[in-house]
Structure 1
Amino acid sequence: MFSYPFMQNAYMAGTLIAIISGIMGVFVIARNMSFLTHTLSEIGFAGAAFGIFMGWQPLLGMLLFTTVSSIGVGELGAKSSRRENSISAISALAIGLGILFLSLANSNASYATGILFGSVIGISRQNVIQMVALSAIVLVIVALIYRFLKFDSFDPIGARVEGLWTRTLSVVFLVLLALSVSVAAQIVGSLLIFILLTLPAAAAKYFTHTVGLMIGVAVAFSLIGVWLGLYLSYVTNWPVSFFISVIEVIFYLAALLYDRRRG
């Protein structure tokens, strides 16, 4: 399996994706941003389609759309009492724009499938290099603001009382989340990336009691899901996103069962 360059690229990219998703997912869960993550994934689809329409690499279009939209969507969701309906409307608009751009670009079904559900064979060495650069940016910034981000995510009231720069932290986190969505969608697909950004962390919180351990378990769940999903996709020729989804759901259900028995 590893004699094929496309599988080497897929595993290298998948490992980066799993690490980033596991780390960011812990803060997504803590900040109750699961629905926003779903919205950003759909915005990423529109961005990738726009990139194809413009003749760019899909990743560049995703970065443009998700980065610009993340701050506005986050502000809308944070202040409006009708946030779920408003964000749903934005999701619908993003999907519609994505379909429009694909149609205008005269792209065939394989393009749409790759964008929506990911593609193992579509990962090139250049894609891996881009992912390494973006992942490094995310990891370095998270490391720099980790203590403040942890405080604001798990004790927002205390963070405000202490005068922490919560507004700036929120903006930075949204941009990091947009970068994570754009990176991870290369394999999992733009419409299913929220699975890796939510389920591993949601399962991890039932097994741990500290933020550091939660991040470690979430990364482990993500790595197992991605690695095993890639292998099963190679063996069966089925979409890798299907296997990753099933594996992460199994982890989450196991976590719920564990919590129920312990309780």
Structure 2
Amino acid sequence: MNPVATWNLVDDLRQMTAYPFMVNALRAGTIVAVVAGAVGWVMVLRGESFAGHTLAVVGFPGAAAATWLGISSGSGYFVACIGAALIIGALPAAVRGRGSTEQSAVIGIVQAFALAAGMLFVSLYKGFLSGLTNLLFGTIAGVSADQVNVLLAAAVPCLVLLVVLGRPLLWASIDPGSAAAHGVPVRSVTVLFMLLLGVAAAGTSQVTGSLLVFALLVAPAAAAHQLTSHPGLGVAASIAIALAVTWVGMGFAYFSPYPIGFWVASFAFGVYLVGLATRTLLDRRGRRVARPDRNAVEVMA
């Protein structure tokens, strides 16, 4: 089957949703986009994008090991990502601090080991190369109805916990010293957020693949931060952007031979560039308005 896109978007959508695998992919993508958009906004605010990428990379050997053992790759993603998230969250504050050289070194070592372990499990499995490609770059045909249910079961408590943590998490992210002085359990909040980040990375990996998690976990959130600094509007914008690039990316992936991860990453990157250009334009206009008129200054003098 070689689907051909037309200019009739309604017919194209009807053609896509005629297949159960595409319905599952759209459901899974929607769930993942909402979680990734919300958690990703906080992750970018806290400056922990590198940690989020590491969790996604760790998901690769988890999924590869699960495939080798004959169990669901989705289970491998969640076990590996959540386990790594708890370990990173338990690191001493001096190592975990923003901009810490030691933190960067530890995370870099973990990434290298995770990729090596993943390749080992793939070699032991002796499966088809397409299986490796799907783990790394995602696929729209590989999401089952059971995986959709697992993603939904993980997403609901994840979002509920994010709402419950909202105010103390925001305070601890902006000014951890002041938050701790006022009784906010910064260490516990950090561990819980890393757990949320692990769930988000595991879910996102199942759609975009382990190497392109930034497409949904970082790019929409980074674009939202360029557009607004208001927490509520920022999270809403991040979710909206993540949903848009996921749905459009799935459409392009269905009508082309290229993996979904490529399309989602490309559109997410494009949206980020638009957000960055918008922020730059607004800043220039703001400086222009704030700059006093030279003639007016001379008259006043």
- The TM-score bracket by the shorter chain reads over 0.9
Shift of 1:73: 2.8
Query: Which structure has the bigger radius of gyration?
Result: 2
Deviates more, 1:152-161 or 1:68-77: 68-77
Alignment match of 1:28 (pick from 21, 33, 43): 43
Q: Distance in 2 between matches of 1:129 and 1:27?
A: 25
Shift of 1:230: 0.2
Tell me the TM-score normalized by structure 1: 0.96
Residue correspondences, number: 263
RMSD, aligned CA: 1.3
Equivalent residues in 2 for 1:136-147 (5 A)?
136-147=156-167
User: AA paired with 1:171?
Assistant: V
Equivalent residues in 2 for 1:94-105 (5 A)?
94-105=114-125
Equivalent residues in 2 for 1:152-163 (5 A)?
152-163=172-183
User: AA paired with 2:120?
Assistant: L
The 3-state SS of whatever aligns with 1:205 is: helix
Partner residue, 1:41: 56
Alignment match of 2:32 (pick from 17, 32, 35): 17
Deviates more, 1:222-231 or 1:85-94: 85-94
Kept after mapping to 1: 8 A contact 2:64/2:73: yes
Q: Distance in 2 between matches of 1:141 and 1:255?
A: 29
Q: Distance in 1 between matches of 2:77 and 2:252?
A: 27
Partner residue, 1:215: 235
Kept after mapping to 1: 8 A contact 2:88/2:194: no
Report whether the alignment pairs 1:238 with 2:253. no
- Please list every run of 5 or more consecutive structure 1 residues that lacks an aligned counterpart in the other structure: none
Partner residue, 2:275: 255
Partner residue, 2:21: 6
Alignment match of 2:214 (pick from 194, 205, 211): 194
Equivalent residues in 2 for 1:114-153 (5 A)?
114-153=134-173
Partner residue, 2:13: none
Shift of 1:152: 1.4
Q: Distance in 2 between matches of 1:82 and 1:150?
A: 25
Shift of 1:50: 1.0
Tell me the TM-score normalized by structure 2: 0.84
Q: Distance in 1 between matches of 2:224 and 2:50?
A: 19
Deviates more, 1:223-232 or 1:205-214: 205-214
Partner residue, 1:181: 201
User: AA paired with 1:116?
Assistant: L
Q: Deviations over 1:171-194 (max 9, x none)?
A: 111111111111111111111112
The 3-state SS of whatever aligns with 1:236 is: coil
Shift of 1:155: 2.8
Kept after mapping to 1: 8 A contact 2:214/2:265: no
Alignment match of 1:52 (pick from 67, 78, 85): 67
Partner residue, 1:70: 85
Deviates more, 1:79-88 or 1:27-36: 79-88
Q: Distance in 2 between matches of 1:83 and 1:152?
A: 19
Q: Deviations over 1:206-260 (max 9, x none)?
A: 2113100000100011011000000011111311111111111111111111111
4+ residue runs of structure 1 moved beyond 3 angstroms?
none
User: AA paired with 1:78?
Assistant: R
Shift of 1:106: 1.5
